[in-house]
Amino acid sequence: MKITQLSVFLQNQKGCLYDVIKILGEAGIDIKTLTLAESREFGVLRLIVDKPEEALKRLRAEEHVASLTEIVAVEVEDRPGGLAKVLKVFSDHGINIEYMYAVVEKNANKAIMVFRFDDMDKAIAALSENNIRVIRGKDIIHL
Amino acid sequence: MIYNEKMECLAPGALKDLQSGRLRQTVKYLHEHSPFYRTLLNESGVSVPSVKSIDDISRLPFTVKDDMRQSYPFGIFSSKMSDIRELHVSSGTTGNPVVVGYSKEDLDFWAEVTARALCCAGAVPGDMIQIAYGYGLFTGGLGLHYGSTLLGLTVIPCSAGQTRRQVKLLQDFKPRILACTPSYSLHMAEIASEMGLDTRQNSLEIGIFGAEPWSDTMRRNIENCWDIRAIDIYGLSEIIGPGVACECHFKNGLHVPADVFYPEVIDPKTLKPVAPGCTGELVITTLTKTGMPLLRYRTRDLVSINYGKCDCGRTMPRISKVLGRTDDMIVVRGINIFPSQIEGVLLGIKGTQPHYQIVVEREKGLDKLTILVEMDQSLFSDKMKQLQAFEEKAAKEVGSVLSISVKVKLVEPKSIERSESKAKRIIDKRIL
């Protein structure tokens, strides 16, 4: 039920993002989506890729600090109120979202959001209880 | 004016006799009162009666900062605690700070040597002095305060900080003398300009600056900026604080009150004396202290020494401005900082060997400390707030150990420059 996300540390400096993306490109890693969180001093790049373990290996070999984290991808109805419906579940169950971002999906009328929670299992249980579809890792890769 | 002409202009022969007598007394006193020195003297095979003249000093063992750290807090004191009147604290290389205890006699001598230093700088009784060195555990503020009071100056005990207020008082009270760190005097000038004041139009004639290294270029800047005579004063809390040496108006070396503090300059590797005029490590023996006398304390400061009589009439030996350090200590805003202190704190937080670098910059006369810490796998998290929390926690803990505010910045692995596979710990971008 969980999806593996790749996170990479980036210093706020020219060329850092390019360097990471270039390594992934040369390794033949397909990026499904990515988001960049930044502070004044540094950033954290979070990506969903087709081969996270391979990507991690390549980045670490090039002296980058990176890690794998489990996240949850949720199908959201692509209409007004769709996201609110999902968020209500978390709110009702007192589940905190650490961060979230969207997955680019081609040719579909559903949107996909990925979430990082403090308590992943509780979140998944709450979603199934409310009949909200949680997407499997291999499905997201084959989007 | 010479505060204690009898002592400060003593003929060399008479000075040597006085030093010899005081050294004999000190060694005897230490052997009787200090378990630390009794052991040290016995281990070095030096018997008390064999110390006859000041020339015998070269047979005595050295004392180093680590001896104080290891005997923390009071183990190196020679007086009973009930005879200690005051305690001061300065930074140690790691962990424990260095504690200095002053007996009543020590405080009296401290006032005497700082009064001598103030006179040497050009102060005369009746002058007003603004003391902008920190008051408290740091010796700068109180040391100059005691000397000023003894000399008969009017003291404005501003301590450091609240710069706008300091500038206002300077304008309104019209002191003739300002005492602070050289960098703080430049910061005050920046603030004064921001307040729309012309720093050259003021009552100040003399600035007494110390507690951090500064060059003659910086001296010229300060002198131009404030239109004053800038005098270098030297001291270290282990010995007493300010008053260990001070320039006279000839600005040709800092006079050491050698009847009270006996200076030697040695080669830090061979530990043998270097010739006058050559650079070596300053070693000081206290000849009159009772609370915490020190034998041959290795200051780690590099200076040269000149035994010639000064044009001002003083016969006391003069040391050069501090030319460097034999260790990696740096001075930021008058506070001594060792990279090892920072390393200790970082190790405590992370539990791994951190790669870090200390960057010191000067902005508007104010020193800024940034610690770059290399990110590593054990520290990394996909959660931004966890990384920011680390930066804040590290900054807070390092700041509290150093007693100065610092910023911690996470950087990419291997991004800190290494020379011969060893990380370069300090990047000092200040123009001193």
Which chain B residues touch A41 with a CB distance below 8 Å? 391, 409-410
| Distance from the A9 Cα atom to the nearest Cα atom in chain B, whole angstroms | 7
CB B99 within 8 A of CB B89: yes
- In this predicted structure, which of B72-81, B89-98, B201-210, B402-411 has the lowest mean pLDDT? B89-98
**Mean pLDDT across the stretch B100-105?**
97
pLDDT of residue B378: 81
Q: In the numeric block, which tokens belong to residue A92?
A: 């009702």
Closest CA to B310 of B253, B233, B263, B232: B253
Residue contact A67–B377, C-beta within 8 A = yes
Share of chain B above pLDDT 90, in %: 71
Question: Which CA distances in Å does A106 have to A72, A111, B157, B167?
Answer: 19, 10, 73, 66
Q: Chain B: residue nearest A118 by CA?
A: B383
A142 pLDDT above the threshold of 70? no
Confidence band of A107 (pLDDT split at 50, 70, 90): low
Which chain A residues touch B382 with a CB distance below 8 Å? 5, 7, 44, 46, 67, 69, 116
- Residue A69 identity: T
CA distance A96 to B75: 54
pLDDT of residue B39: 95
B353 pLDDT above the threshold of 70? no
Q: B179-199 pLDDT, tens per residue?
A: 999 988 988 998 999 999 999
CATH of A72-141, one of 1.20.1250.20, 3.40.80.10, 3.30.70.260, 3.30.565.10: 3.30.70.260
- In this predicted structure, which of A135-139, B94-98, B126-130, B347-351 has the lowest mean pLDDT? B347-351
Q: Cα-flanking dihedrals φ and ψ of residue B363, to 5°?
A: -125, 120
pLDDT of residue B352: 56
Of A37, A63, A66, the CB nearest to B384: A37
Closest CA to A100 of A73, A125, A127: A73
Average pLDDT, chain A: 89
Q: B60-69 pLDDT, tens per residue?
A: 999 999 898 8
Q: How many residues does chain B have?
A: 432
Domains observed in chain B:
81-327 (3.40.50.12780), 335-428 (3.30.300.30)
Mutation to test the B interface, candidates A59, A65, A117, A120, most B Cβ within 10 Å: A65
pLDDT of residue A73: 92
CA distance B48 to B27: 6
Helices and strands in chain B: count of H runs, count of E runs: 11, 23
Q: Chain A: residue nearest B377 by CA?
A: A65
Residue contact A69–B382, C-beta within 8 A = yes
Residue contact A9–B410, C-beta within 8 A = yes
Share of chain A above pLDDT 90, in %: 64
Packing angle of the helix pair A52-61, A16-26 (nearest 10 deg): 120
Q: A49-94 pLDDT, tens per residue?
A: 999 999 999 999 998 999 999 999 998 888 899 899 999 999 999 9
Strand A97-103 vs strand A31-38: parallel, antiparallel, or unpaired? unpaired
Q: What is the CATH number of domain A3-69?
A: 3.30.2130.10
| Distance from the B186 Cα atom to the nearest Cα atom in chain A, whole angstroms | 29
